[in-house]
């Protein structure tokens, strides 16, 4: 939950933010990545660096929101929000006091395919930090009062989403793309599903998901391998060997073109567009990644930004990116525009995407994109936490442990023909488009305003 991360950062930020700025850069650390196996058989990717007395760990369990039962979407998210709300003989207040006293950052989140967690601490507080993690994973309390408090916070956020055009467009897009597949369901749940979640459901989810067989761990920081092995056994050694995950089928997003409209009386219309993407393990992925940067991922330099924002003045910003899950992949973009210019904006996006599919990029565009993507990698991994997050994601993507060293060569290997082929595959069939805003016939009228109080 976002509120949890914000709270944790505020409580522990002073000490940790000061030293995070001094964390080792991946250019120094990448060559030191090692595969560590603890005495108890817990495996982690590990970078040892004593530059500053900080340890950052990222970890995940297979499952995530895709394990939410039908009719109870949001269960994984609710579990993630409650794992640090008291454990063992520590109630929520005492648990948080222990974290705050030692400036320990502990958080959980439910991604589409994984229940993820993050742990950061000063070296001197490592024993207590790993012990608190152990408690949260093995004996979360799920006290009724805490469950209801978290439920109310989630419900409040879901109510706000009912009038948020970006939230509505994102939800509708997933429904359009994935139909009755688990990926179509909102990770946060719905106003109908969250009230149905019971404490027994929370405990059952933990029993099914929190296990060693789909555990992935990345650690960066000031700790030696022997000590880290013992800490990993302390935190994860007591978990069950195997989970009981419900199988999730591979799925291809719905075939474009399709369009959906969601009425909402707001002055600015939101447009979400996309379609089937390229999965991370496919040979075309890197070519797709590079050409996507040219089309919509390059910020101010992207084609969509130049055409939609600079030339036509239709939107303040526009982006488009590749996203991939364990069982599917998408390209997805978003922009907002005046209600009376929504149709023109959709036409402009479709025209530019069609042009890229038919013609592909120029050699100069390809060369510039490669240069940027190679140079920006290390800047994106400039702290211990960012490097740990990347190393965890590489494991989830089933990439080799030396991927950081090989990645720029993979980018360089993309040819113009490769880029054109990927562009045709991604954008040659048109778009799935969701428009949220005022109906076309009402777009020329001012937005409704609430009556003034007497």
**Exposed, middle or buried by CB within 10 Å (0-12, 13-18, 19+), for 101?**
exposed
Closest CA to 335 of 353, 360, 359: 353
Q: What are phi and psi of 450, to 5 degrees?
A: -70, 145
Q: Is 26 helix (H, G, I), strand (E, B) or coil?
A: helix
Say what the pLDDT of residue 299 is: 75
Model confidence at 379, in pLDDT bands (50, 70, 90)? Answer: confident
Which pLDDT tens digit goes with each residue over 88-145?
999 999 999 999 999 999 999 999 999 999 999 999 999 999 999 999 999 999 999 9
Q: Six-digit token pair at 443?
A: 């777009």
Instruction: Find out whether 69 and 198 touch, Cβ atoms under 8 Å.
Output: no
Domains detected in the chain: 2-236 (3.30.830.10), 258-442 (3.30.830.10)
- Evaluate if residue 283 carries a pLDDT over 70: yes
Q: Which residues pair with 274 in a beta bridge?
A: 332, 432
User: Which comes out higher in pLDDT, residue 448 or 288?
Assistant: 288
Give yes or no for residue 86 having a pLDDT over 90. Answer: yes
DSSP 214: T
pLDDT at 440 (0 to 100): 66
Q: Which tokens sit at 202?
A: 């929370």
- What pLDDT does 32 receive? 87
Task: List CB contacts of 10: < 8 A, sequence separation 6 or more.
Answer: none
With a cut of 50, say whether residue 333 has pLDDT above it.
yes
Residue 211 DSSP SS3: strand
CA distance linking residue 350 with residue 305, whole number of Å: 13
CA–CA separation, 114 vs 392, rounded Å?
A: 11
Question: What's the confidence (pLDDT) of residue 160?
Answer: 96
Query: Left if phi > 0, otherwise alpha if psi is -120 to 50, otherwise beta: which for 333?
Result: beta
Q: Are 117 and 108 in contact (CB under 8 A)?
A: yes
Mean pLDDT check: name the lowest of 8-12, 267-271, 313-317: 8-12
Instruction: Look at residues 396, 399, 402 and name the one whose alpha carbon lies nearest to residue 217.
Output: 396
Model confidence over 196-228: pLDDT tens digits? 999 999 999 999 999 999 999 999 999 999 999
**For residue 345, what are its two tokens?**
């904006």
Helix H or strand E segment including 120:
strand 114-122
Q: pLDDT value at position 377?
A: 81
pLDDT average, residue stretch 170-193: 96
Nearest alpha-carbon partner for 361 in 303, 297, 277, 317: 303
**pLDDT (mean) for 342-364:** 96
Mean pLDDT of 54-69: 96
8 has pLDDT over 50:
no
Contacts of 23 (CB under 8 A, 6+ apart): 49, 51, 52, 54, 56, 220, 382, 383, 384, 385, 387
Mean pLDDT of 133-158: 98
* Other residues' Cβ atoms within 10 Å of the Cβ of residue 214: 18
Supply the pLDDT for residue 441: 53
Whether residue 20 is predicted with pLDDT greater than 80 in this model: the reply is: no
By percentage, how much of the chain surpasses pLDDT 70?
90
d(CA 248, CA 245): 9
> Helix or strand or coil: residue 437?
strand
CB 314 within 8 A of CB 341: yes
DSSP annotation of 87 reads: B
What is the per-residue pLDDT for 137?
98
């Amino acid at each position: 939950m976002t509120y949890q991360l914000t709270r944790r950062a505020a409580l522990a930020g002073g000490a940790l933010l000061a030293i995070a700025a001094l964390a080792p850069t991946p250019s120094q650390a990448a060559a030191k990545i090692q595969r560590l196996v603890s005495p108890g058989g817990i495996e982690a990717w590990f970078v040892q660096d004593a530059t500053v007395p900080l340890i950052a760990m990222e970890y995940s369990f297979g499952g995530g929101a895709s394990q939410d039962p039908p009719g109870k979407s949001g269960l994984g998210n609710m579990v993630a929000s409650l794992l640090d709300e008291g454990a063992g003989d520590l109630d929520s207040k005492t648990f948080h006091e222990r974290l705050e006293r030692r400036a320990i950052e502990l958080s959980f989140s439910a991604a589409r395919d994984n229940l993820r967690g993050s742990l950061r601490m000063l070296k001197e507080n490592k024993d207590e930090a790993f012990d608190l993690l152990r408690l949260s994973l093995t004996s979360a309390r799920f006290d009724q009062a805490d469950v209801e408090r978290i439920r109310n916070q989630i419900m409040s956020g879901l109510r706000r989403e009912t009038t948020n055009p970006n939230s509505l467009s994102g939800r509708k897009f997933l429904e359009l793309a994935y139909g009755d597949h688990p990926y179509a369901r909102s990770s946060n749940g719905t106003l109908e599903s969250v009230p149905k979640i019971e404490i027994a459901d929370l405990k059952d989810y933990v029993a099914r998901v929190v296990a060693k067989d789909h555990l992935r761990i990345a650690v960066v920081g000031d700790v030696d391998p022997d000590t880290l092995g013992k800490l990993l056994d302390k935190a994860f050694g007591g978990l069950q060997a195997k989970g009981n995950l419900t199988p999730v089928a591979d799925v291809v997003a719905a075939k474009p073109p399709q369009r959906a409209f969601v009425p909402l009386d707001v002055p600015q219309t939101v447009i979400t567009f996309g379609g089937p993407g390229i999965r991370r393990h496919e040979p075309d992925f890197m070519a797709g990644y590079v050409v996507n940067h040219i089309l919509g991922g390059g910020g101010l330099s992207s084609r969509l930004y130049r055409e939609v924002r600079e030339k036509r003045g239709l939107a303040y910003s526009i982006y488009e990116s590749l996203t991939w899950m364990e069982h599917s992949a998408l390209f997805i973009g978003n922009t907002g525009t005046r209600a009376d210019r929504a149709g023109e904006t959709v036409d402009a996006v479709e025209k530019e995407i069609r042009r890229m599919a038919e013609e592909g990029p120029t050699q100069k565009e390809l060369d510039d994109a490669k240069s940027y993507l190679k140079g920006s990698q290390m800047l994106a991994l400039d702290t211990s936490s960012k490097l740990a997050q990347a190393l965890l994601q590489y494991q989830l993507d089933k990439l080799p442990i030396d991927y950081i060293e090989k990645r720029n060569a993979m980018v360089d290997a993309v040819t113009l023909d490769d880029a054109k082929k990927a562009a045709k595959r991604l954008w040659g069939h048109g778009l799935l488009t969701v428009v949220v805003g005022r109906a076309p016939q009402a777009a020329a009228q001012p937005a409704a305003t609430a009556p003034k109080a007497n």
